[in-house]
Amino acid sequence: MSGGTIVGDGDWDLETYWPTNHCGETEPMDLADYTRYQIYFYELGETFYRNENKTIYPTTDIDMPTGYNTVTPSAASIPAPGVPTS
């Protein structure tokens, strides 16, 4: 959500995305029903707050609101080798 406006249509296929972009890696169990935006932070190894499809990032200097969970990836999980990076 950006400025009260929903970004994206929520139509994407995580089951296809993960094996295509993370060759040989098993999809983490806690990624079920995540948004593309949340996967982006997860892949970068960034901690964020999540309440279903609502995301709060950055998490510094903010108390976690009621209903949110902290998602802390163990490490960066950038997509498969050979995928261009900026």
pTM attached to this predicted model: 0.73
- Work out the average pLDDT over 63-75: 89
Type and span of the H or E element at 41: helix 36-44
H helical segments located in 1-86:
14-21, 36-44
Longest dimension (CA), the chain: 40
Q: What is the pLDDT of residues 19-52, one digit of tens each?
A: 888 887 887 776 778 888 998 998 899 999 999 8
pLDDT for the residue 34: 85
DSSP 1: -
